[in-house]
Amino acid sequence: MRKIISFPRLRRKLNNLAVTKIQTEIGYETLDIIAGGETAGIPFAAWLADELHLPMQYVRKKPKGFGRNARIEGLLKENARVLLVEDLATDGGSKKDFVQAIRDSGQLCNDVFVFFFYDIFSGAKEDLLSQNINLHYLTTWRDVLSIATKNQYFSKQELHEIEAFIFDPVKWSANHGGA
């Protein structure tokens, strides 16, 4: 996702798909502000805010530690309905933190949009839902595997590795030098 910012035609296509998804699943009229999570979510939030003609803000992982010590930059509006935008979600942990920062600022945030959701960590969506956070996304690892298999983009061994990763990412990582 972080390389997509360097490909204007591809990112425009993805942004158009995102706008359609946001309008269909969330509804344009239910949103007042688009917020990007530091740092990877910021450009995507800016492009979507522009497309949706909505104000934008961004949320820091932590307060700066000087100045206003703010976690959120941009227009803060009491009870504004905010959509958090990020590039991707693995287990949803950072999304919960960003949403809480938005809520702590007096704004409302019940929806998060990511372009790519891993969807391989058990309970991630349910954990978000338990905190009244609806996750919206364009695609997952399973979607990638399905298309890669259908179009024979990789060898059978490579597809097997992708399947092994999706089935048990922790075990796959440990077997390949990860933690």
Q: What is the pTM of this model?
A: 0.93
Residue 67 within any structural domain of the chain: yes
In-domain check, residue 178: no
The per-residue pLDDT of the chain, averaged, comes to 94
Domains contained in the chain, number: 1
**Would residue 179 count as lying in a domain?**
no
List the domain range (segments joined by +) for residue 119: 4-140
HSE-CB at 2 with a 13 A cutoff on CA atoms is 4
pLDDT in tens, 20-63: 999 999 999 999 999 999 999 999 999 999 999 999 999 999 88
Give the pLDDT score at 96: 97
Angle at the Cα of 160 from the Cα atoms of 155 and 163, rounded to 5 degrees: 130
User: Is pLDDT of 119 > 80?
Assistant: yes
Residues 82 and 33: beta-carbon distance below 8 Å: yes
| Cα radius of gyration (the chain) | 17
For the stretch 149-166, pLDDT in tens is: 999 999 999 999 999 999
User: Residue 176's pLDDT is what?
Assistant: 93
Q: For residue 178, give the amino acid letter.
A: G
Domain contains 152: no
Phi-psi region of 141 (alpha: psi -120 to 50; beta: other; left: phi over 0): alpha
Is the residue at 158 inside a domain? no
Residue 156 lies in a domain: no
Per the domain annotation, does 165 fall within a domain?
no
The CATH number covering residue 39 comes to: 3.40.50.2020
Alpha carbon separation from 134 to 24, 39, 95, 116, 172 (Å, rounded)? 14, 21, 11, 15, 28
Q: Is 8 a domain residue?
A: yes
- How far is 179 from 170, CA to CA, in rounded Å? 8
Task: Using the CB atoms, write b or e for 73-96: b if 16+ within 10 Å.
Answer: bbeeeeebbbbbbbbbbbbbebbb
